[in-house]
């Protein structure tokens, strides 16, 4: 009975963790757009993901050396098995993350950040459908919440007609790939330590991005210094912190469709960031979009 009573609390805590994740990602859209003024997308993503992985290494070392946390109260054999799962799972998650983030990053170069935010967030509709072949058919409330959230995202992000450019199509392709990363994280986060999983994921994604960076972009110390602030934000906060929080939140929530709805709030926080820092207007249409998004979350939680 006590474990059943803990389920709603864990769901609330997981939702809160994913809202924090969405906040960090929402502010990142402006940062990503600014970074493209001085650095290529392969180099930028490679640097941010490698920095995210390196950021987690001291935490993993301290946890292992000081043996604190639930992971290090397990038997040695169980820790080794979970460690192998973290590496193998992290590689698969990293491949999906690398592909999805590159399509998004290239798309941001050719479209507005508002459109990029809306089109990327199409994954909220796709995750429930991707879950069905895995034997995890979402409830009707989740589907209703996803479609309502899509309406809210349109009101929040889109102004005028929806005319698709090259950048828009790239963001849509990224949206079809992000559910693979979300479902992979959901699967492996239940079987291993989320921090170890995230570290392996970032190092894999960073290494995969740097290969084409050296082939096509010839990164230099000068370009990396020019984009130092965006790389630091995206590497430490958006990657190292936020993607790890994603793994932790999904481990607690155990519902990838609901998790994708929570994380889609990055578009809401992107609009708020634009209002706070870029003095962009928060029109009645955008405020209505935010309200619809909140309603979608409440419906999906029922």
pLDDT in tens, 230-251: 899 999 999 889 988 998 898 8
Which of 60-74, 152-166, 283-297 is most confident?
Answer: 283-297
pLDDT in tens, 23-50: 998 888 778 777 777 888 999 999 999 9
Domain ranges for the chain, please list them: 15-301
239: DSSP letter: I
Between 227 and 91, whose confidence is greater?
A: 91
pLDDT of residue 102: 94
Between 3 and 230, whose confidence is greater?
A: 230
Contacts of 169 (CB under 8 A, 6+ apart): 107
pLDDT of residue 6: 56
- The angle, 0 to 180 degrees and rounded to 10, between the axes of the packed helices 284-301 and 266-277 is 150
pLDDT of residue 154: 78
Q: Which residue has the tokens 């392709």?
A: 173
Between 177 and 9, whose confidence is greater?
A: 177
Query: Nearest Cα to 295, choosing from 152, 124, 155, 143?
Result: 152
Average pLDDT estimate for 10-15: 84
Query: Nearest Cα to 28, choosing from 194, 209, 235, 261?
Result: 235
Average pLDDT estimate for 214-241: 89
pLDDT of residue 278: 67
pLDDT band at 301 (very low <50, low <70, confident <90, very high): low
165: DSSP letter: -
Say if CB 201 and CB 97 are below 8 A apart: yes
Average pLDDT estimate for 265-284: 75
Say if CB 178 and CB 18 are below 8 A apart: no
* Cα distance from N-terminal residue to C-terminal residue, the chain: 21
Query: Does 204 have pLDDT greater than 90?
Result: yes
pLDDT in tens, 180-203: 999 999 999 889 988 899 999 999
Percent of the chain topping pLDDT 90: 29
Q: Which residues of 209-223 are buried (b: 16+ CB within 10 A; e: fewer)?
A: bbebbeeebebeeeb
Mean pLDDT of the chain: 83
pLDDT of residue 201: 96
pLDDT in tens, 90-134: 999 999 999 999 998 898 888 776 677 777 877 877 888 888 888
Count CB neighbours of 145 within 10 A: 26
Between 180 and 164, whose confidence is greater?
A: 180
């Amino acid at each position: 009975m006590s474990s059943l009573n803990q389920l709603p609390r864990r769901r609330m805590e997981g939702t809160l963790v994913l809202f924090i994740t969405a906040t960090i990602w929402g502010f990142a859209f402006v940062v990503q757009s600014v970074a493209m003024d001085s650095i290529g997308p392969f180099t930028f993503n490679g640097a941010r993901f490698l920095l995210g992985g390196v950021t987690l290494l001291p935490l993993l070392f301290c946890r292992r050396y000081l043996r604190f946390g639930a992971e290090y109260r397990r038997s040695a054999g169980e820790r080794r098995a979970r460690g192998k799962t973290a590496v193998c799972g992290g590689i698969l998650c990293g491949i999906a993350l690398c592909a999805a983030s590159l399509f998004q990053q290239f798309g941001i170069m050719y479209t507005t950040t508002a459109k990029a935010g809306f089109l990327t967030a199409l994954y909220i509709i796709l995750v429930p459908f991707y879950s069905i072949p895995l034997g995890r058919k979402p409830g009707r409330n989740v589907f209703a919440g996803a479609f309502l959230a899509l309406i809210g995202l349109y009101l929040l992000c889109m102004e005028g007609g929806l005319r698709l450019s090259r950048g828009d199509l790239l963001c849509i392709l990224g949206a079809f790939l992000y559910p693979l990363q979300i479902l992979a994280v959901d699967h492996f986060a239940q079987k291993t330590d989320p921090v170890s999983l995230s570290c392996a994921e970032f190092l894999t994604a960073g290494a995969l991005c740097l290969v084409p960076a050296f082939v096509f972009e010839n990164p230099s110390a000068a370009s990396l210094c020019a984009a130092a602030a965006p790389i630091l934000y995206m590497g430490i906060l958006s990657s190292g912190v936020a993607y790890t929080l994603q793994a932790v939140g999904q481990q607690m929530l155990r519902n990838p469709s609901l998790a994708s709805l929570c994380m889609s709030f990055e578009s809401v926080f992107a609009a708020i960031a634009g209002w706070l820092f870029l003095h962009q207007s928060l029109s009645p249409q955008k405020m209505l979009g935010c309200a619809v998004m909140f309603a979608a979350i409440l419906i999906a939680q029922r």
